[in-house]
Chain A
Amino acid sequence: MNPYALTIAQAKQLLTKKEASAEELVRSCMERIEAVDDSVNAVVHRNFDGALAQAKKVDSHPEEFGELAGIPYLAKDVFCEKGVPTTACSPILQNPTYTPPYSSTVTRLLEASGAISLGKVNTDEFTMGASTETSAYGPTHNPWDVSRVAGGSSGGSAAAVAADECLFALGTDTGGSIRQPAGFCNVAGIRPTYGRVSRFGVMSMASSLDTIGPLCKTVEDTAIVLEAIAGKDPQDATTIDRPVPRYTEALQKGIKGLRIGVPREYFAEGLHADVESSVREAIRTLEKEGALIEEISLPLTKYAIATYYVICPCEVSSNMARYDGIRFGLHSEASDSLHSQYVQTRSRGFGTEVQRRILIGTYALSAGYYDAYYRKALQVRALIVREFTEAFEKVDAIVGPVSPTPAFKVGAHEGDPVAMYLEDAFLTAQPMAGIPCMSIPCGMSTDGLPIGLQIMAPQWHEETVLQTAYAFERVTDWHTKKPML
């Protein structure tokens, strides 16, 4: 097998037995990127020299590193990495290209563990989108059908893993941005509990909703990476001081007797027939593995998108205020006033979707509208939290589809922002409640497009999510399928 096609678990075995070196893994991924990325367009900044230098260090002193020693990865273009261009795929962080003078906490943890950064992958601009089409570098193409999107905003991350350009990738999930592209590209992607993984050094979108997570080829790989990056960070006050379980050791527990809820609202009109049949078949598989399935109701599901698309733009409007061409970012022609400097930089530097969300957020927070929009949305958020809490009194986990349809065509939602927002139908309630959830491959449409299964659990119950995913993966082979590139 080509080294680039290995899973993390397989590569670790070969590295331990000295049957492969970190340098070989890195060179194999580099060659793979050169071979396929013209059609996929996942990689936006290459760090090949840095990767080879790190690989040599790991090969000569493996004892100095940890569980991910020698494993090459790609990071979404929002993870600050010292000396590597990081631009959120936005023109406002280019000309001059922003090259961070420090690394995010997750980048530092991975470096200490011995993982090797190959560079940065594509995202919707400032992670705002569900298709990676708003990137300044153009859309990422789905390796399963390059006329279709890879999903978003972690489309580059998902496509890169699906195309074997790396052994894992880092993504962020604010309103579905790990789970949806993972589902579209046939890879595993987890959104951990809010506060499980440090966001320090990761360019923020919506601070009460953003989470960091890995996209991987298998559930076991997901557990390995999550173990390496989870934990309290004094530099991120929203991380919680809870011990990080050995997720890898918890995988085999099985799901006998696990009560799994299936929300009827996730199977309403508009769900693609192949998505419904694949997900229902997956639920039958879980039942065969011993889970107790019961139908539940989450009536607030239909309000989740609206709640998200008030809270998220409001927080965005605050987080985007720092991009003013002063401390970093786009160089503007000499202005005669600070005000016009701001306006010029921001108007030229931000794309349409980013500007749209800033405007909505600014409006919804402004005097006269704050109560009707923002305050109201925060109240509905409280109700969504309560709805999940009550549901988890009756069941241990909840499963359902990831997206209403498989991957759509590039350009399908052009000019129709609301249609794009509706892609997040099943993905925005969980961020409201801060609960962990995951997408794993569970089927293919008649067109040969991947379909994902979403698994949710209460806060801090990542083991339940991973155990359920592992139990399904163990007796199926959807995750082993690869696109033809």
Chain B
Amino acid sequence: MAQRREEVDVVLIGMGLVGTVLGRELTRAGLRVVGLERGEARDTVPDFQGPAMHDELRYAMRLALMQDASKETITFRHSPRDTALPVRRWGSFLPGSGLGGSMSHWNGQLFRFQDDDFQMYTRTVERYGANFLDPEITIQDWGITAAELEPYFDRWEYLLGVSGKAGNLQGELIPGGNVFEDPRSREYPTPPQKEPYGSAIFRRAALELGYNPYPQPSANLSQPYTNPEGMQLQTCTFCGFCERFGCEHFAKSSPQTILLPVLLADERFELRTGCNVLRINRDSTGRIATGVTYADRSGQEIEQPASLVILGAYAYNNVRMLLLSQIGQPYDPQTATGAVGKNYAYQTMSYPQVFYDESIHINPFMRSGANGTMISDFAGDNFDHGPHGFVGGAYIGEIMTNGRPIGFHPVPPDTPGWGSGWKRAVARHYNHTSVINVHGSSVATRSNYLDLDPTYRDAWGLPLLRMTFDFPENDLRMSAYCTDRAIEIGREMGGQLVTGEPRTGRYDMTEYQTTHNTGGAIMGTDPSTSVVNRYLQSWDVPNLFVIGASAYPQNASYNPTGTLGALAYWAADAIVSQYLPSPGPLVPT
């Protein structure tokens, strides 16, 4: 028999990026809010302090800040014909756990998806014809435009203090910025970070080839900054311990450094950590959420009633929560009916390497998580796809983040796999190699989806999420084309040897690529093909908002977090200005 807590106005599932933003916006609107986080409380002081934080073995290899796979994991298979098995050791992506969510240990790479990304289906058909897409591709429009989202992108970037250089200021193209971006209303809050040497070599090569290099926008700040909430952030020290680590210097924009302390000081807000939400509860009609049930640290079940439920867990965990709570119709790939779980997508990565002469010192250890120089000439629909027969693209850049001793040891392809030959090659090439990042989009397909596993359960007895995914042919063709472009740039960079393979073959779950899992609870204009409307409100349960990269109908070339923050503010604004005065569906069905 679950204990019942006193009813509140809002319950937040998850206290990462989404929980922090929504918690703040809703307490500001006068509501009483409870935030439930299944992980532990974490703060810059004491948890992220050095020198202990700079422990590569503990944090980067043994994943100290990540979810414990022995308690809850996912099962994985490539296609609906296969049997899914539990992921016992994280590889391809690293789900986090803990206050602040994955934004406490991200790299700070922050972009705005382009308008072409939001209207991907319509634009593709307009430009290339209805028959251009492979039949298995199920890309959709988002139901919003970049212009509508611009003030929210701006607000999010100014909350973080992002360091960058605008490429399009109110329609005027600015050389040196990303000239492919949609118009932004004003410049970035802080100037770009310093450009590392390897990235300068990339920039020179890209200019030679006629491309438009620009500094990567960074949420690791270039100078001290006070954000509109009064939070003070500091200058990034280029320590090279960014992704998978917390930042000791208050220099990485994370919930802890940009907003949480303000929220935690608000008496209308209550944080409960160690609370694992088991399901969203509904009334007898099934149309109204009445709150959630969660298990506290001792395993006791507790019911938290609330008038409004914000589901803001990690992207695919949002989908799992809907499935466990039986909200919406689960997607069936055979019949292509249902929407919960459909359009799961990822990211299509490759990494050409440029091996230099020993006179070129790259110093890979002096890096931040989001530094360097890149081009968007081959991202999204920024180039003519007509001759190529694929959709999507990749940004390309020398944006290395670290030279850590265990993880970073680039060697040419013919190097022995172990022994003195390998050691010689590591010593020879460690400080004389640039790795180019080809960060490619991921289209949605009929057979890539999420549902509940029929066999395996987590430590609380609940079915695990089952992920069915493999790279679509479209994305492999895109990767081949973009990797070739990157290798051309690599040659122009003046290396003695340039190597690189595009993404090929089956998806390898054991090799780290990115923690950019999207889709499964997608936003859209049609309730039969999406799970939430354009305000991220559940079509099925109007007092439930599902906010996360789960909303993305497909994944673009850029990293997801910039757009997610904007969507969080966009949804919060819709809740405060439209939903609260008049609760109910915000979009007629």
| B and A form one assembly | no
Binding site for B on A (CB under 8 A): none
What is B's interface to A at a CB cutoff of 8 Å?
none
